[in-house]
Amino acid sequence: MLLHWTDAYATVDGLQIHYIRTGHGHKPPLVLLHGFSDNGLCWLPVARELEAQYDVIMPDARGHGLSARVQPNKPIDNAADAAGLITALGLQQPIVGGHSMGGLTATELGGRYPDLVAGLILEDPAWIDPSPDDVPLHKNPFFEWLLNIDAVSLEEIIALGKANNPAWPEVEFPAWAESKRQLDKNIFSVVNVRKPWREFVAAFTVPVLLITAVAEKGAIVTPATAQEAASLSPLLQVVQVPHAGHNIRRENYPAFMQAAQTFLNQF
């Protein structure tokens, strides 16, 4: 993080939520929610570009980064945590952006807590429907790797990240690698990756930007899903970014930022 940014904690539902903040409340607030196994600092390039215009707040989700660890048998409600953070920090209707799991959280936040937000930016949100072919999270090869990462050095994690993601810029890897070591492995027993996203989309009351990419490159939200979402809410607009998969901003940063800036300029 940059030296003039704030590294702090907020108490939400009796738990400590860690966040990085670029400003001090003198600019419009923008909350950015990271994806599963990432941390708030994974938004570093975006925050650096937008901090002149916005007070950017980048929290670590519960069980991620430096936030509270998973409590046994207590389900995680990321949307309630995000709402609690907005309230605890006294943010006045921030725009909320989210990627993957964070995009699902932002979707749910907009549906359940509409008065707390001014707008939403959803980067390939984890709108995943149940399937008979579903396998337990810990059987997913990537998640299985996460479960066994403790013996892997930070340098090895970065090297693997670069090998698997050659299109990502160099600046992405330090926070991405560190976030993998910070992940609370107990999260696999409580995390819920299946949510009624259609219900939340239909309840939107603020402008929403859905940024999608190429399904063949790994994007979760297909053109058919994006079209269905747009039919559920007249407030939702869709931008498809070419030459990118699930990690849209990491794979086609200029196109992602152009879409986001165009949307932000309407506020």
Domain parsing of the chain, residue ranges: 6-132+192-264
The confidence score (pLDDT) of residue 148 equals 87
Pure H helices in the chain = 44-50, 78-88, 101-112, 141-147, 154-164, 173-182, 197-202, 223-232, 248-251, 253-264
The answer to whether residue 177 scores a pLDDT higher than 70 is: yes
pLDDT digits (tens, 9 = 90+) for 228-245: 999 999 999 999 999 999
Residues in Cβ contact with 50 at an 8 Å cutoff, skipping those fewer than 6 apart: 30, 56, 264
The confidence score (pLDDT) of residue 141 equals 81
Name the percent of the chain lying above pLDDT 90. Answer: 86
Confidence of residue 70 (pLDDT cuts 50, 70, 90): very high
Q: Say what the alpha-carbon torsion angle 109, 242, 161, 96 is, to the nearest 10 degrees.
A: -20
pTM flag (> 0.75): yes
The number of beta carbons lying within 10 Å of the beta carbon of residue 129 is 11
CA distances from 141 to 135, 145, 148 (A): 11, 6, 11
Candidates 1.10.357.10, 3.90.1150.10, 3.40.50.1820, 3.40.1010.10; correct CATH number of 6-132+192-264? 3.40.50.1820
Q: To the nearest whole number, what is the mean pLDDT of the chain? A: 94
Written as six digits, the tokens of 76 are 């995680």
The answer to whether residue 133 scores a pLDDT higher than 80 is: no
Closest by CA to 78, choosing from 95, 90, 64, 92, is: 64
- Mean pLDDT for the stretch of residues 107-117: 98
Confidence of residue 259 (pLDDT cuts 50, 70, 90): very high
CA distances from 171 to 7, 167, 168 (A): 19, 12, 8
